[in-house]
Amino acid sequence: MRFSFAIIMRVLGIDPGTMVTGYGVVDDINGKLSHVTHGTIEGKRKDSFPDRLKLIFDGLNKVIEEYKPDYIALEGVFYGKSVKSAIKVGEARGIAILCAASADIPMAEYAPTVVKRAVVGVGSAKKGQVGEMVKVILALSEVPEKYDASDALAIAICHCHRSKSVI
């Protein structure tokens, strides 16, 4: 008698930003990746910085509650911008880390070049290339409208690929 067991892993990828935070949920079922959902949490310029952080916190907690990921994958710090920008993005990352810790969900961080290499094969890939490969890998009918969402899906895909090499 032969039994087959499905190994399912649900990953929430997060591309943190203070104006726009992207999220994407991917299921890995025995190595086959499938799209669950994606979107953005967007603040307004007129919103105070604390209000934008609260919006991110509330939005990510809602996604976590609704989709119940097994893992959360987060983009690491990108140093190419100004110090002020890096600090603000770091604060948004802190909110995402807090959401993962509060929900007792294991978290991993990946450098942007690692994500691009995992999805496109080249660490210097452009955002459009990442979006196109996300579309192909997840068999989407079109590239997600916002780069933040396609980047979040790419982060989730990266975690699915990388976790296999660790297990």
Q: Is 44 helix (H, G, I), strand (E, B) or coil?
A: coil
Give me the mean pLDDT over the 116-123 stretch: 93
Least confident of 62-71, 74-83, 139-148: 74-83
Q: For the residues of 83-106, what is the DSSP string, one character each? A: HHHHHHHHHHHHHHHHHHHHTT--
Catalytic, 27? Answer no
Its pTM surpasses 0.85: yes
Catalytic, 75? Answer yes
Catalytic, 151? Answer no
How far is 40 from 145, CA to CA, in rounded Å?
10
Whether residue 47 has pLDDT greater than 90: yes
Give me the mean pLDDT over the 107-120 stretch: 94
Single out the catalytic residue among 15, 27, 28, 151.
Answer: 15
Single out the catalytic residue among 28, 75, 91, 109.
Answer: 75
